[in-house]
Structure 1
Amino acid sequence: MNCIQEGLIPTKYFEKTKQKLSTANGENLRVNFKITDVHICNEGICIKQSFILVKDLDIGIILGQPFLEIIKPFKVKTEGITTKIFQQKILFAFNEKPITKDINLLKTFSLFKEHSVNLIKIKENHLYFMKQEVSNKKLEQYLQTSQIKEKLLH
Structure 2
Amino acid sequence: MKKPLYTIVDVKKTCNELLQTTFPNITVYGNGVYDGYTRPSFFTEILETSNNLSPYQRSRGYSYKITYFETTHNEKRCMEIYEEILYVFGIDVTIRTEDRKMRLLVDSIDFQWIDTNADKMQITIDFADTVQIGGRTETEDIAESCETVVRNESEGE
TM-score by length of 2: 0.26
Quick check: which one's helix share is greater? 1
TM-score by length of 1: 0.26
Quick check: which one's strand share is greater? 2
Structure with greater contact order relative to length (CA < 8 Å, sep ≥ 6): 2
